[in-house]
Amino acid sequence: MVSSRLLNSVSLVCASIGLVIAMALLAQGAAGAASPVHVIQYSETTSPSVTAQLDVNQSVDALSKETVVRSGGDSVTQLSVGGPPAGWEYTDEEGNPVTAPSGSWIHATVSIPAVGARSMRAIWEADIVIAALREQLEARSTRIPVLGAQIVGKLPDGIEIPIGGGIGDVQLAQDFGDASATEAEAAVRRNAAGAGLQITSLETLRPLQPAPAVVAYTDDPVAFVKEADGRINELFGGTAAYEAEYLEVRDRAGSLVFVQASTFRTGVGRRWIRPDLDPRSPVESRGGDPATG
Amino acid sequence: MRFLLTQRTSHRRRVASALGIVLCSFAITGTAAAHTFGGYELHKPCCGTDGLYGTRSSITVPSSLSLFSPGSAGCVMARSEAQGGGIAQSSVIQTGFVLCASGYTLDGTCSTANNLINYVEIAQAGVVTCVPKGSVGLGTTHRYTVNNTSPSATTWRAYIDGVVDSSSLSMGVADYILESTEHTTPGESGSYSVNVTWGSPNAWDRWNRISWVTVQSAFVLVTTGSGWTVTGSPPGAWSVSHP
């Protein structure tokens, strides 16, 4: 009897120790390996109403075409849903194939006048329709998860350049408000002086909700670049006040100074700064010890 | 966002540590507004006949925000990075974690709310693109990788804890691979404090298109006058701290 009780006690202690060890190992694993990813949310609220009025269950082709038309941009020539881009394979870090996750990629083709800063407006238009289409695909009765996006820029001579897309770990159904174009533009115009900008062009695209696109000039490019984030927030009335924002800043002579193209439904942010104002500088060629490494 | 190294330096050799590791230290300076760096790098020519086709390492997020603070301006990052594109160094891919001060962002969409997040950033033709990859926990360790495994050796991708991101960069062999911190607005941030550890449990590896090779020695990457301090060296763990 005593032996039995002792055995039970020992078993209980062992089980407890085992439980503690298991919990410790789990905790260590959680700290040492991938921790749960918490998606980024830019808007204050989310709402299914963002896509509720749309026929998200129509054919994917029709949905893609409708999304491009609704956005109001004119640079996206093709938007489609399919597999990964040619040559893309899901691999581990050694290049060995791994099982691809279930889902689709969104592909967009845009007309671009050139490579670099001058292409950013067109690429932003691709970013915003990709983001809007992703929302609708995820809202379908049979959900289509979106794994990635690929943008191809088509130059005037027909040469196609892969630009890359990007899908952030971002909350779906963010509600950025449903201001009319008139309201959004009036707000931006009111804020422009405070941001040190004089607006030369302003339009509002509508992939799902308003997405203002601004071209403006500044008398002080150095100050603008230095305070860019604050000036952008001032102009648009806060951080991520709209589902997407485009700002192209020029100097008095008309030269590009700064371009920001933000898409808060996917988290894709693109920024260009005129090289002479950009704190980055080229690397000078230099030697080294080839044996190092 | 600021990733291109400004180097007007010489580098001087020094014998480091009892391990006999040869470290080549060089200063990196820039304009008053230039970003600053602290960590290690490898550059061409490097590693015998091996090309620089990738870099990866464990990087541990500090256990407290007081050890990863950008101060009052700009952003602070810790990442794995590759650069290429010749003298202009116009092609860059990096992944790691970032925290920006209130009112500041990385490329407009990353760390917009003074939040600590994982990210992937790519630069090509002067346009820098950031994609947030979710929030990241204090005290956690992750393996951040950028490498080129494409059959044609033309495409770079990023991985966080072995999970490939959909972003990609067209670039062949890299000119530089880096494992470092970066501050984007050091001169205006007041006092900022950072202490990040690399190399544990996964040591710093470079990818030569056949296999991962543990880096045995590297060049110290510390911007002159920046206050960054590097303690320890590969192939072991090391930490980068400020001030």
The string of pLDDT tens digits covering residues B110-133 is 999 999 999 999 999 899 999 999
Q: 3-state class of A78 per DSSP?
A: strand
**CA–CA distance from A143 to each of A97, A139, A165, A193, B14 (Å)?**
26, 6, 21, 44, 59
Whether the predicted model's global pTM rises above the 0.80 cut: yes
Contact A279/B164, CB-based, under 8 Å?
Answer: no
The answer to whether A293 contacts B217, with C-beta atoms less than 8 Å apart, is: yes
Chain A: residue nearest B59 by CA? A32
State how far the Cα of A64 lies from the Cα of A132, in Å rounded to an integer: 9
Q: Do B134 and A90 touch (CB under 8 A)?
A: no
Out of B2, B103, B206, name the one closest to residue A280 (CB): B2
Mean pLDDT over B93-118 rounds to: 97
* Distance between CA atoms of residues A165 and A268, nearest Å: 8
| B38 token code pair | 């602290």
Evaluate whether A83 touches A147 at the Cβ level (below 8 Å): no
Alpha-carbon span B162 to B141, nearest angstrom:
13
Chain A nearest C-alpha distance from B140 (Å): 5
Contact between residue B194 and residue B181 where contact means Cβ atoms under 8 Å apart: yes
**pLDDT attached to residue A86:** 86
Distance CA(B12)–CA(B65), nearest Å, equals 35
Residue B32 has pLDDT above 60, yes or no: no
Q: And the tokens for B7?
A: 């180097």
A174 touches chain B (CB under 8 A): no
Burial grade of A277 (CB within 10 A; 0-12, 13-18, 19 or more): middle
Inter-chain touch A281–B88, beta carbons under 8 Å = no
Chain B nearest-CA distance from A111, in A, is: 17
* Tens place of pLDDT per residue across chain A (293 aa): 334 443 344 444 434 444 443 443 333 333 334 445 699 999 999 999 999 989 999 999 999 999 999 999 999 999 999 999 988 889 999 999 999 999 999 999 999 999 999 999 999 999 999 999 999 999 999 999 999 999 999 999 999 999 888 999 999 999 999 999 999 999 999 999 999 999 999 999 999 999 999 999 999 999 999 999 999 999 999 999 999 999 999 999 999 999 999 999 999 999 999 999 987 654 444 456 666 78
- Is the pLDDT at B21 greater than 60? The verdict is no
| Whether B141 and A31 lie within 8 Å, measured CB to CB | yes
Question: How far apart, in whole angstroms, are the C-alpha atoms of residue B147 and residue B124?
Answer: 16
Please tell me the distance in Å from B32's CA to the nearest CA on chain A.
8
Cβ A4 vs Cβ A12: under 8 Å: no
Task: Give the pLDDT mean for B237-241.
Answer: 97
- Using a CB–CB cutoff of 8 Å, tell me whether A97 touches chain B: no
Write out residues 202-221 of A within 8 Å (CB-CB) of B: none
Indicate if the pLDDT at residue B181 is higher than 70: yes
Q: Which residues contact A178 (CB under 8 A, 6 or more apart)?
A: A209, A210
Please compute, for residue B46, the number of CA atoms within 13 A of its CA located in the half-sphere on the CB side. 25
Outline where DSSP puts E strands in chain A. 45-46, 76-82, 104-111, 146-154, 160-162, 174-175, 198-205, 211-217, 244-250, 256-263, 268-273
Say if residue B29's pLDDT is above 50.
no
Backbone angles phi, psi at A54, to 5 degrees: -105, 150
Q: What is the predicted pLDDT for the residue at A293?
A: 81
